[in-house]
């Protein structure tokens, strides 16, 4: 073995946690694996901001340059995100040095991202990942790629701007997309999905108060939820056309994290060919998996995974899917998109253990 091979082999062993091959270490990958991705976070004091900080401080190639929160500027991040005690001594800042970062995450409430961009200049070379709904729908002049890697991985890899999908939209789409790929969605789809209280954000409200939410269940925005257009957009993209309604009824659950969805599709297709289609559709997806037995929330909470299962009852296909609303439904998927945009292993920083029990 020559000296160069010995050096590459030693580097491969020393950096095996980066999941690189020796060829990547000598430079055939688009991103320099020894360079840190410099990151800015806007809206860092909310639930998504805190989850994002938690993921990024444990990401081997992430360096948080600033975590912006006007109302908490100067205060330690742990004053708000108490679960990070001992993990970081970072403080919130009012500064936004965009010239010092490679990518900015927008963790704003819906509608604020578009307004922020109208009021601030971000250098053209800085990538943006927006977790709000402002740019999720395709329209003239919108250059944001819809950040669902299971269908848009190649587009995300080339994108400068990514619109991260909504939490309900992610869970429901991942349940329905393989059916759309098989052109099975030709009648109205009945969808029910229940979400944890963190889906409502950090600001206290009447329907998030513990005394109301605990041991309780309710619906909201039946047939009018803002994520339905996202779902239709992706199903149309995959199936080619969509002449069916998505009849979605969202539920508020009395738990903190997770989304569990059921979708009913009418089809005469055989169960075995449907299941084979689902497995084939997700064979290259590192976080979305078809499971042969019934699924539950504890299998995915605290992870970036989506699990999907199908059952056939006559001409009705019952599809169940579940995710963690803050991870695969928000910042986990955002970090996955960042990894893809910078050409590194998309699972980097996201190998997370489920609660399980």
Reply yes or no on whether the pLDDT at 50 is more than 70.
yes
Task: Give the pLDDT score at 201.
Answer: 59
How far apart, in whole angstroms, are the C-alpha atoms of residue 151 and residue 258?
22
Q: Are 183 and 242 in contact, with CB atoms under 8 Å apart?
A: no
Task: Give the pLDDT score at 223.
Answer: 94
Average confidence score pLDDT of the chain: 90
When pLDDT is cut at 50, 70 and 90, the band that residue 9 belongs to is very low
pLDDT tens by residue, 296-345: 999 999 999 999 999 999 999 999 999 999 999 999 999 999 999 999 99
Of 101, 266, 255, the closest CA to residue 176 belongs to 266
When pLDDT is cut at 50, 70 and 90, the band that residue 199 belongs to is low
How far apart, in whole angstroms, are the C-alpha atoms of residue 206 and residue 273?
46
What average pLDDT does range 264-276 have in this prediction? 98
Of 261, 236, 227, 40, the closest CA to residue 136 belongs to 227
Task: Give the pLDDT score at 139.
Answer: 94
Minimum mean pLDDT among 3-12, 119-128, 146-155, 243-252: which range?
Answer: 3-12
pLDDT tens by residue, 212-252: 778 889 999 999 989 999 999 999 999 999 999 999 999 99
Catalytic residue among 91, 107, 167, 306: 167
Q: What single-letter DSSP state applies at residue 86?
A: T
When pLDDT is cut at 50, 70 and 90, the band that residue 141 belongs to is very high
Check if 167 is active-site.
yes
Alpha carbon 102 to its chain centroid, in Å, reads: 20
Task: Give the pLDDT score at 197.
Answer: 80
Q: Delineate the domains of the chain, giving CATH numbers in brackets.
A: 3-165+330-341 (3.40.50.720), 167-325 (3.30.360.10)
What average pLDDT does range 16-29 have in this prediction? 39
Reply yes or no on whether the pLDDT at 27 is more than 80.
no
pTM: 0.89
pLDDT tens by residue, 82-128: 999 999 999 999 999 999 999 999 999 888 999 999 999 999 999 99
Reply yes or no on whether the pLDDT at 208 is more than 90.
no
CB count in 10 Å sphere of residue 85: 10
Reply yes or no on whether the pLDDT at 26 is more than 60.
no
């Amino acid at each position: 073995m020559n000296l160069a091979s010995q050096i590459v082999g030693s580097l491969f062993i020393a950096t095996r946690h980066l999941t690189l091959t020796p060829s990547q270490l000598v430079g055939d990958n688009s991103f320099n694996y020894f360079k840190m991705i410099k990151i800015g976070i806007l809206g860092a004091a909310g639930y998504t901001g805190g989850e994002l900080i938690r993921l990024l401080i444990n990401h081997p190639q992430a360096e948080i340059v600033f975590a912006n929160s006007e109302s908490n500027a100067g205060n330690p991040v742990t004053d708000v995100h108490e679960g990070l005690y001992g993990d970081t001594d970072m403080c919130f800042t009012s500064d936004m040095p965009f010239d010092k970062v490679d990518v900015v995450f927008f963790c704003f409430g819906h509608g604020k991202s578009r307004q922020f961009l109208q009021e601030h200049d971000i250098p053209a070379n800085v990538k943006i990942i927006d977790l709000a709904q402002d740019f999720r729908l395709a329209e003239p002049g919108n250059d944001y790629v819809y950040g669902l890697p299971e269908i848009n991985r190649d587009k995300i890899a080339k994108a400068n701007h990514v619109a991260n999908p909504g939490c309900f939209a992610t869970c429901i789409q991942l349940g329905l997309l393989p059916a759309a790929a098989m052109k099975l969605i030709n009648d109205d789809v009945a969808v029910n999905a229940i979400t944890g209280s963190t889906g409502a954000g950090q600001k206290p409200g009447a329907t998030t108060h513990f005394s109301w939410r605990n041991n309780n269940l309710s619906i909201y925005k039946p047939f009018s939820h803002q994520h339905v257009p996202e779902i239709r957009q992706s199903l149309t993209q995959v199936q080619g056309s969509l002449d069916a309604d998505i009849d979605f009824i969202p539920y508020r659950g009395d738990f903190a994290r997770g989304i569990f969805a059921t979708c009913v599709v009418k089809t005469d297709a055989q169960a075995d060919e449907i299941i084979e289609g689902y497995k084939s559709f997700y064979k290259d997806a590192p976080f979305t998996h078809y499971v042969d037995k019934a699924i539950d929330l504890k299998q995915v909470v605290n992870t970036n995974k989506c699990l999907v299962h199908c059952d056939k009852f006559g001409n009705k296909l019952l599809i169940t899917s579940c995710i963690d609303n803050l991870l695969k439904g928000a910042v986990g998927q955002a970090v996955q998109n960042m990894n893809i945009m910078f050409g590194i292993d998309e699972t980097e920083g996201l190998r997370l253990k489920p609660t399980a029990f």
